[in-house]
Amino acid sequence: MAGQKLCVCVCVCVCVWAVCPKDDFQEELVIRPLHSGDIYASFQFRTVWETDFTRGNKVSHYRLFPKSLGQVISKFSVRELHISFTQGYWRTMQWGQPFQPAPPGAELWVWFQDSVTDVDSTWKELTNVLSGIFCASLNFIDSTNTVQPSASFKPLGIGNVTDHRFLRYATLPREIVCTENLTPWKKLLPCGSKAGLAVLLKSEKLFHSSFHSQAVHIRPMCQDWECKTTSWELRQTLNVVFDLHTSAQGKREWSLFKMFSRTLTEACPLASSSKIYIDITDNPEQFEVSPATPLLSQASVLGDRRTFSVYDLTQQITFGTVRSLNLLIRWKSSEGDMLRPLLHGERYVAGYGLQTGEIHTLMYNYHPYRSFPVLLLDSVPWYLRLYIHTLTVTSKGKDNKPSYIHYQPSKDRVRPHLLEMLVQLPPNSVTEVTVQFERALLKWTEYTPDPNHGFYVGSSVISSLVPSIVAMDTNSTRERPLFSSFFPCKEESSYFVRVYTEPLLVNLPTPDFSMPYNVICLTCTVVAVGYGSLYNLLTRSFQIEEPNPGLAKRIANVIRKMRGVPPL
């Protein structure tokens, strides 16, 4: 009897404990010194929650997962959400490939669930709600800058159905990123900016950099190796590149204090793992790191096998006797070159005048003997009227016909151009895509308050599976550092990479906005002067008038009137 009772008690305990879905928080910082002397720091904060937003039941008990995002997911039936805010442009040839690529400005792409009936109105409401959460002007996303890619931007999370009707993609290249975007981003973290790695996120240092990108990625992922149940993953990433000359005064010596004006004192108490990785693949010939650590780890990321020193912040010995961690990275020599990235993209506008122009997109394949296919996505606003019959794709001087083209023409003031092409890049070559366009004249209320600045065209997206030198890790459930598990890897011989080109700034023919006022003034003056003169000529008549007599004469006249005698 007692044994049975004990059994029942234990069962009840286990059941009650299993009711609350488990959530887990990990934080990580990767520091990679770059060959130009700059330093690249990438923060990743990941919350994994074993719950189900898709089913009808409401989730009401939030612990580590932020409530504002959880409510957005369940209300708008979102399957995947990726939003990024970037200031600056990533220079692939000098810095290599980033861990999470992002275009300048704001970028938002969302996969909705199959249950959504009207995707466009849900998209509009979602952008408005996100603009309130992130203090950004995302409410400017409407049908004129939203596209529905047909082959790019496949879901990064798990899922079996990929009907592109449920995908929406939009960019705002003009969007400014500043502390007001960082503040709500930091408030989504479980520890806020009070403990753990988020203590380093001080806006005065982060925005005084060559590149700053913060992003939020939400996607469903496998819970275990069987992958029958899904859990939701929220990744908040922040990539920043500090410039050698502005932040380090030209000296090739970096430390946490120099980069962030803070040192670390503790890990976030809510985090199950809190680590710093420093890329020491080029150590010890190039630079030295102090304090030294015995922990080393190897990871194959972005097609290369890199070695990292690991600092585990959950262990108290990492902080040493001074109870604070300030990593120091000192260069010893500046020779050696980095691994050249295999894929690179550039874009510019050619032509002169304010009527026509030409967009040139260049895609570089630096692999010596392998060719690989790339998917190019171009979204051009409606006021640049593309002439698709002038589209040419040339590699090494010869015509290169794409194996897949999807073109959706624009409609004035309704939707932009969408051009997607699958192009095979020959080895060691440059592929050039050119298309001519004509500039439209906007209605005078459609101009921004500063139209002479120009109008932005969003970056092109080049997605590709690049052949890799080392074998990539395809086991997604093994414990790996966060930076190597962002893009899912299905085969060992290649890795997925997405490259963004520069945004374009084009001048549209701008009218002189003071002209209506000038014209009204001039016309009214001319009409008044002309009509007035004519009226005077026609209606003016002349009368003879006696001049006013002098004082003496007037007095004499008065006396004469009194006497009854006619006046002078």
Partner 1 sequence: MKILTLWSLFSTYLLASSLNIENHAAQFFSSGHTNNWAVLVCTSRFWFNYRHVANTLSVYRSVKRLGIPDSHIVLMLADDMACNHRNPKPATVFSHKNMELNVYGDDVEVDYRGYEVTVENFLRVLTGRLPPSTPRSKRLLSDDRSNILIYLTGHGGNGFLKFQDSEEISNVELADAFEQMWQKRRYNELLFIIDTCQGASMYERFYSPNLMALASSQVGEDSLSHQPDLAIGVHLMDRYTFYLLEFLEDIHPASKTNMNDLFKVCPKSQCVSTPGHRTDLFLRDPGSVLITDFFGSVRKVEITMETINLTDPIEQVEQSPVNGELQKERNSYVDQLPVSEIIHQKPKQRDWHPPDGFILGLWTLILLVFFKTLAFQETAVGSKPPYRVQ
Kindly tell me which residue out of 513, 521, 534, 553 binds partner 1, with binding defined by CB under 8 A: 513
As measured in angstroms, the least distance from the Cβ of 473 to partner 1 is 13
Nearer to partner 1, 277 or 456 (CB): 456
DSSP 473: P
Q: What angle is formed at CA 502 by the lines to CA 250 and CA 91, rounded to 5 degrees?
A: 30
Q: What single string gives the DSSP state of each residue in 15-82?
A: HHHHHSPPEEEEEEEEEEE-TTS-EEEEEEEEEEE---SSSSSPP---SSS-HHHHHHHHHTTEEEEE
As measured in angstroms, the least distance from the Cβ of 118 to partner 1 is 14
Given the rule CB under 8 A, which of 38-46, 225-233, 411-419, 501-509 is the region that contacts partner 1? Answer: 225-233
Given the rule CB under 8 A, which of 284-292, 426-434, 483-491, 519-527 is the region that contacts partner 1? Answer: 483-491
Nearer to partner 1, 231 or 274 (CB): 231
- Three-state helix/strand/coil letters over 401-460: CCCEEEEECCECCCECEEEEEEEEECCCEEEEEEEEEEECCCCCCCCCCCHHHCEEECCC
Burial of 159 (0-12, 13-18, 19+ CB in 10 A): middle
Beta strand pairing call for 253-255 and 273-279: unpaired
> Between the CA atoms of 127, 128, 134 and 135, what dihedral angle is there, to the nearest 10 degrees?
140
Given the rule CB under 8 A, which of 12-20, 91-99, 362-370, 381-389 is the region that contacts partner 1? Answer: 12-20
Kindly tell me which residue out of 22, 142, 144, 159 binds partner 1, with binding defined by CB under 8 A: 159
If binding means CB under 8 A, how many residues of this protein chain bind partner 1? 67
Given the rule CB under 8 A, which of 23-31, 286-294, 411-419, 461-469 is the region that contacts partner 1? Answer: 461-469
Kindly tell me which residue out of 62, 331, 366, 496 binds partner 1, with binding defined by CB under 8 A: 496
Strand partners for 264: 325
Kindly tell me which residue out of 2, 15, 537, 562 binds partner 1, with binding defined by CB under 8 A: 15
Strand partners for 308: 279, 297
As measured in angstroms, the least distance from the Cβ of 337 to partner 1 is 29
Q: Is 362 in the site for partner 1 (CB under 8 A)?
A: no
Q: Is 206 in the site for partner 1 (CB under 8 A)?
A: yes
As measured in angstroms, the least distance from the Cβ of 1 to partner 1 is 26
Burial of 358 (0-12, 13-18, 19+ CB in 10 A): middle
Cα-Cα end-to-end distance for the chain: 149
Nearer to partner 1, 125 or 412 (CB): 125
Contact letters for partner 1, residues 124-143 (x by CB under 8 A): xx--xx-xxx-xxx-xx---
Q: Is 202 in the site for partner 1 (CB under 8 A)?
A: yes
Q: Is 477 in the site for partner 1 (CB under 8 A)?
A: no
Nearer to partner 1, 128 or 392 (CB): 128
Query: Among 341, 380, 306, 348, which Cα is nearest to 464's?
Result: 341
Q: Is 118 in the site for partner 1 (CB under 8 A)?
A: no
Q: Is 151 in the site for partner 1 (CB under 8 A)?
A: yes
Please name the amino acid found at residue 174. Answer: R
Q: What part of residues 549-568 is at the interface with partner 1 (CB under 8 A)?
A: none
Residue-wise burial string across 95-119, b where 16 or more C-beta atoms lie within 10 A, e elsewhere: bbbbbbbbbbbbbbbbbbbeebeeb
Q: At what angle do helices 119-134 and 179-187 cross, to 10 degrees?
A: 100
Residue appearing with tokens 């890990």: 267
How is residue 138 written in tokens?
Answer: 């995302």
As measured in angstroms, the least distance from the Cβ of 316 to partner 1 is 29
Q: Is 488 in the site for partner 1 (CB under 8 A)?
A: yes
Kindly tell me which residue out of 3, 56, 228, 369 binds partner 1, with binding defined by CB under 8 A: 228
- 170 alpha carbon, distance to own chain's centre: 10
Beta strand pairing call for 23-33 and 273-279: parallel
Nearer to partner 1, 84 or 464 (CB): 464
d(CA 324, CA 316): 10
Q: Is 222 in the site for partner 1 (CB under 8 A)?
A: yes
Q: Contact 216/69 with Cβ under 8 angstroms?
A: yes
As measured in angstroms, the least distance from the Cβ of 452 to partner 1 is 11
As measured in angstroms, the least distance from the Cβ of 177 to partner 1 is 7
d(CA 233, CA 23): 10
Q: What part of residues 402-421 is at the interface with partner 1 (CB under 8 A)?
A: 403-404
Q: Is 162 in the site for partner 1 (CB under 8 A)?
A: yes
Kindly tell me which residue out of 150, 263, 281, 400 binds partner 1, with binding defined by CB under 8 A: 150
Q: What part of residues 330-359 is at the interface with partner 1 (CB under 8 A)?
A: none
Q: Is 487 in the site for partner 1 (CB under 8 A)?
A: yes
How is residue 67 written in tokens?
Answer: 């409530």
d(CA 376, CA 242): 30
Q: What part of residues 523-552 is at the interface with partner 1 (CB under 8 A)?
A: none
Q: Is 20 in the site for partner 1 (CB under 8 A)?
A: yes
Kindly tell me which residue out of 399, 450, 479, 545 binds partner 1, with binding defined by CB under 8 A: 450
Q: What part of residues 38-67 is at the interface with partner 1 (CB under 8 A)?
A: 57, 61
Distances (CA, A) of 510 to 348, 349, 443: 21, 18, 10
As measured in angstroms, the least distance from the Cβ of 176 to partner 1 is 5
Contacts with partner 1 by CB under 8 A lie at 15-16, 18-20, 57, 61, 87, 124-125, 128-129, 131-133, 135-137, 139-140, 150-151, 154-160, 162, 174, 176-180, 183-184, 202-204, 206-208, 222, 226-230, 373, 375, 403-404, 422, 448-450, 463-465, 476, 487-488, 490, 496, 513
